[in-house]
């Protein structure tokens, strides 16, 4: 699975691509220069139950840790992942 990040400085998306097919995506909105709000997660039905959403979140976590950015998880899926995984909480805003 390949991850593709697009970011225009206001909003962005990280897509999990399986070849040319989007397996899932997570969208975010910037809240200042050092915080982003994860506002939506979508996983294609064909990839349900395969951990695609968590893999996208882990890709984002690696990225924000390098950039010293914090996350506000408004998306119910992302919030649940932060609640379940103490290792993710270092980037919580």
Answer yes or no: are the C-beta atoms of 33 and 10 closer than 8 Å. no
* Phi and psi based region of residue 49 (left: phi greater than 0; alpha: psi -120 to 50; beta: remaining): left
Domain assignment of residue 93, yes or no: no
pLDDT digits (tens, 9 = 90+) for 46-84: 999 999 999 999 999 999 999 999 999 999 999 999 999
Number of domains forming the structure of the chain: 1
76-84 and 52-67 helices, crossing angle to 10°:
80
Inside any domain, residue 34: yes
Domain of 46, CATH number, reads: 3.40.630.30
pLDDT digits (tens, 9 = 90+) for 7-44: 999 999 999 999 999 999 999 999 999 999 999 999 99
Residues 6 or more apart in contact with residue 50 via CB below 8 angstroms:
23
């Amino acid at each position: 699975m390949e991850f593709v990040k697009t970011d225009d400085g206001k909003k962005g998306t990280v897509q999990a691509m399986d070849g040319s097919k989007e397996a899932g995506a997570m969208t975010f909105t910037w809240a200042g220069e050092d915080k982003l709000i994860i506002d939506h997660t979508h996983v294609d039905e064909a990839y349900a139950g395969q951990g695609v959403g968590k893999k996208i979140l882990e890709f984002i976590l690696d990225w924000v840790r390098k950039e010293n950015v914090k996350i506000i998880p408004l998306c119910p899926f992302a919030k649940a992942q932060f609640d379940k995984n103490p290792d993710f909480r270092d980037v919580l805003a």
